[in-house]
Amino acid sequence: MLSASNIPIPNHSSDYTEPTTVLLLPAFVIIDHVTPKSVPELITEFVDKAPTNISPLAPLALPSSVPVASSTNNGTDTSAAAAATTTSSIPPEISRRPCPHSALILLCSQKTRDARCGQSAPLLRKELERHLRPLGLFRDMDDERPGGVGIYFISHVGGHKYSANMMVYRRPDAFGLDDVERVTEGGEHMVPKAKTVVPETEDVGAAQCIWLARIKPEDCENLVKYTILQGKVVKPETQLRGGFDRAKGIMSW
């Protein structure tokens, strides 16, 4: 799935000739300096080699950076193109870095496709922020501290039968609580456990994606407590649309 988002681009430029940023999931990788010209390298070197929903958990096998091929004329680099590359502010390569967050929430927000999503997404984001902040987990657009939860708006997903779509991507045992029973430890007030930053050579990307719909603001408290902190679905009969668990080898769409 390819989607637009409100992830800030470098220098917050609105010029489409400037490089942009790509968030690649489930790899949990941010790819910088992407331009239309570098799309072939983006696909062959990153997208095609990245883990998929059915890939077992294993360290990522992606290059740190990839040079972008120069423009050619009948297969030969032109001096004009070479000069443009030299003087351009666009970097001559695309590079990747790990997404710093432990979990990501993607909210369908494209009101031109479904007005309900355009209305619900800002409300859900505000309510999620209200419950994440006391836990020290909320991350705004420019906050790249390790851990926490990033929340982004994306293009419309899922047709028009379901509104208020939400996709939750989680790293393995994102907050150290996946195997904890609330009745035996901490009750309703469990606090996320501090986790060491995984070395980039051991990064496996997202272990889970939980795709939900028909989310209301009053659902957000339990979504934070159970879905985000523990990877559990609160209302599977009415809200679960699909997802995957790479650790358990489960996928459903």
DSSP-derived secondary structure for 132-154: HGGGT-EE-TT---SSSEEEEEE
The pLDDT, as a whole number, for residue 81 is 43
For the chain, what is the domain count? Answer: 1
In a domain, residue 27? The reply is no
CB 104, CB 25: distance < 8 Å: yes
In a domain, residue 8? The reply is no
In a domain, residue 18? The reply is no
The pLDDT, as a whole number, for residue 142 is 86
The pLDDT, as a whole number, for residue 112 is 53
In a domain, residue 230? The reply is yes
Q: Quote the tokens at residue 7.
A: 């992830």
- d(CA 119, CA 77) in angstroms, rounded, equals 50
3-class secondary structure, 85: helix
pLDDT tens per residue, the chain (253 residues)? 888 887 877 776 777 778 899 999 999 999 999 998 999 999 999 999 999 999 999 999 999 999 987 654 444 444 444 444 443 445 578 999 999 999 999 998 765 555 566 678 899 999 999 999 999 999 998 898 999 999 999 987 766 566 788 999 999 999 999 988 765 555 566 778 877 778 888 899 999 999 999 999 999 999 999 999 999 999 999 999 999 999 999 988 6
In a domain, residue 14? The reply is no
User: In the block, which residue shows the tokens 């559990």?
Assistant: 232
- d(CA 129, CA 224) in angstroms, rounded, equals 10
In a domain, residue 228? The reply is yes
Q: Which domain holds residue 177?
A: 103-181+202-252
In a domain, residue 211? The reply is yes
3-class secondary structure, 12: helix
In a domain, residue 197? The reply is no
